[in-house]
């Protein structure tokens, strides 16, 4: 298999030229042979008819022998063979150079092919029933073939000039590949961390498609690397503080003078471990959000049943904190999406609402089906979020100033990413009647792939 595109193109184009040349030669030969043979056949018929008229005239004047003598002594070099036979198979008239044997075995009017003296002949037979004579006029195949060969050579000779010019194809193909070499040079000169799109001037359409796909790949790779770098930075940022705090508490527990001091240190270590576990889980969720992979796992499911499962899992926390939870939704609302990711999104929303809702208050989850999508809202009775911080809280690791509840600063960031992964919209608004925050989401009905 030829691996070089340039060489493959050269071979394919050269073969195409040869095939075209061969087809042209063959067609020209066939068409010329047919046309020349038609002309020669018409000539044979015309000569036979003229000979028939002359023979009838000589028969009427009873001068057939003198006509034969004149024909034989004419000295003309006839390209045709002429014979006139009587009904008793007697050769009455014979053209110059014509053999004594009958030119064809066919006695019917029309054309036939015959062979004698080692050559092929085209014969036209014409019967004269009034005088019981039969005329044969013949021409050798070699004559027509020579004429056809000469004509075809004159036509095809100019095409032979194209064959030496085929050497120019290599130069032309080399020039055509210059844009591709330019793109290869641009890519080869890049550093490993330079992932900006490739730009080159005067790129042909075929190469432009390749460059577009390459740029799309570079963009996806850049996004993936940025996600990994951000994840690494988040891990370093979030794990440093709790680990350092637990080391301090562990040291205090070891060096504590009383049981009370040691128990207090162990309690702080336990609290730090719980917080660390929560942070690690949130970071793992962020790391698992790969858009292309998750979109391939979309399915149609009941969002209401997912909300019920999430609230059921969080209910022990609600009982401990004495917070009431309610779900207001239809019996079944179907949505096309990633069930696991949307369950995580709902869990983060309800957990976040639980964290800021004082005991004795209520958290409400509303799910409403719309002809364009699903409207989802989580309402709490907490302090709310200032207007100038409503967009800011969706960024990673951002916590509200003065926040007393422990958190990773990743919950709403995860919610936003999952929402956008489903082409949804998320907004925050304050409750109008009392303190609290409402998180509104709209998730469109996506077509099944």
Pick the closest to residue 278 from 351, 179, 178 (CA basis). 351
Are 281 and 297 within 8 A, CB to CB?
no
How does DSSP assign 391-404, residue by residue? Answer: TGGGSTT---TT--
Identify the pLDDT of residue 305. 92
For 70-100, the pLDDT digits (tens) are 555 555 556 788 888 888 888 888 877 778 8
* Span 5-162 CATH architecture: 2-Layer Sandwich (3.30)
115, 102 Cβ separation under 8 angstroms: no
Nearest residue to 326 (alpha-carbon basis) of 364, 380, 357:
364
Encode pLDDT of 375-426 as tens digits: 999 998 888 777 777 676 767 655 554 454 555 456 677 788 888 888 899 8
How far apart are alpha carbons 138 and 121 in whole angstroms?
6
Alpha-carbon distance of 9 to 110, in angstroms, equals: 53
pLDDT > 70 in the chain, percent: 71
**What does DSSP assign to residue 109?**
S
Please name which of 355, 356, 354, 368 lies closest in space to residue 325, comparing C-alpha atoms.
Answer: 354
Locate 358 and state its tokens: 């004082």
Tell me whether residue 28 is exposed, middle or buried, using C-beta atoms within 10 angstroms of its C-beta: 0 to 12, 13 to 18, 19 or more.
middle
Rounded to whole angstroms, the Cα distance separating 336 from 262 reads: 53
Q: Strands across the sheet with 81-86, in order? A: 91-94, 81-86, 133-140, 119-128, 110-116
The confidence score (pLDDT) of residue 237 equals 56
CATH topology of domain 291-444: Heat Shock Protein 90 (3.30.565)
- Over its C-alpha atoms, the chain yields an Rg (Å, rounded) of 50
Give the residue ranges of the chain where pLDDT is below 70: 1-3, 58-78, 159-167, 200-204, 206, 227-228, 230-246, 248-249, 251-257, 259, 261-262, 264-265, 268-269, 271-296, 390, 392, 394, 396-411, 448-449
List the structure tokens of 139. 């021409």
pLDDT at 404: 45
Q: What local confidence, expressed as pLDDT, does residue 328 receive?
A: 92
- pLDDT score at 402: 45
- Residue 214, judged by CB atoms within 10 A of its CB (0-12, 13-18, 19+), counts as middle
Bridge partners, 327 (sequence order)? 365
Domain ranges of the chain: 5-162, 180-288, 291-444
Confidence at residue 202, expressed as pLDDT on a 0 to 100 scale = 66
Residue 268 has phi, psi (to 5 degrees) of -65, -35
- Give the span between the Cα atoms of 117 and 98, in whole angstroms: 11
Could you report the per-residue pLDDT of 333-355, keeping only the tens digit for each?
999 988 888 888 888 889 888 88
């Amino acid at each position: 298999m030829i691996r070089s595109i340039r060489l493959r193109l050269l071979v394919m184009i050269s073969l195409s030229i040869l095939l075209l040349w061969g087809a042209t030669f063959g067609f020209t030969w066939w068409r010329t042979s047919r046309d020349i043979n038609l002309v020669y056949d018409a000539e044979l018929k015309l000569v036979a008819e003229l000979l028939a008229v002359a023979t009838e005239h000589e028969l009427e004047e009873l001068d057939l022998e003198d006509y034969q003598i004149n024909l034989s002594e004419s000295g003309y070099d006839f390209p045709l063979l002429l014979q006139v036979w009587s009904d008793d198979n007697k050769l009455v008239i014979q053209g110059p150079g014509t053999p004594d044997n009958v030119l064809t075995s066919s006695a019917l009017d029309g054309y036939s092919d015959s062979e004698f003296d080692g050559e092929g002949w085209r014969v036209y037979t014409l019967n004269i029933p009034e005088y019981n004579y039969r005329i044969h006029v013949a021409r050798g195949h070699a004559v027509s073939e020579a004429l056809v060969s000469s004509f075809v050579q004159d036509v095809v000779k100019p095409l032979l000039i194209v064959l030496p010019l085929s050497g120019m194809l290599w130069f032309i193909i080399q020039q055509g590949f210059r844009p591709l070499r330019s793109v290869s040079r641009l890519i080869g000169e890049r550093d490993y961390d330079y992932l900006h799109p490739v730009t080159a001037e005067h790129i042909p359409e075929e190469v432009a498609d390749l460059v577009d796909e390459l740029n799309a790949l570079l963009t996806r790779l850049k996004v993936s690397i940025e996600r990994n770098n951000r994840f690494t930075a988040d891990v370093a940022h979030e794990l440093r503080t709790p680990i350092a705090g637990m080391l301090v508490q562990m040291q205090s527990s070891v060096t504590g003078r009383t049981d009370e001091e040691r128990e207090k240190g162990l309690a702080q270590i336990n609290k730090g471990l719980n917080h660390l576990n929560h942070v690690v889980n949130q970071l793992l969720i962020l790391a698992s959000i790969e858009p292309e992979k998750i979109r391939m796992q979309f399915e149609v499911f009941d969002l209401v049943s997912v909300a019920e499962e999430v609230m059921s899992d969080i209910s022990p926390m609600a009982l401990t904190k004495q917070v009431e939870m309610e779900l207001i939704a239809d019996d079944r609302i179907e949505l096309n999406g990633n069930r696991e990711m949307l369950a995580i999104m709902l869990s983060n929303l309800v957990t976040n609402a639980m964290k800021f809702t004082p005991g004795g208050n209520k958290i409400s989850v509303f799910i409403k089906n719309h002809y364009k999508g699903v409207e989802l809202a989580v309402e709490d009775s907490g302090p709310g979020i200032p207007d100038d911080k409503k967009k800011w809280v969706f960024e990673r690791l951002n916590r509200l100033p003065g926040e007393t509840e422990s958190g990773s600063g990743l919950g709403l960031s995860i919610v936003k990413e999952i929402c956008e992964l489903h082409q949804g919209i998320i907004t925050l608004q304050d409750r109008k009647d009392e303190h609290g925050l409402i998180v509104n989401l709209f998730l469109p009905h996506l077509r099944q792939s």
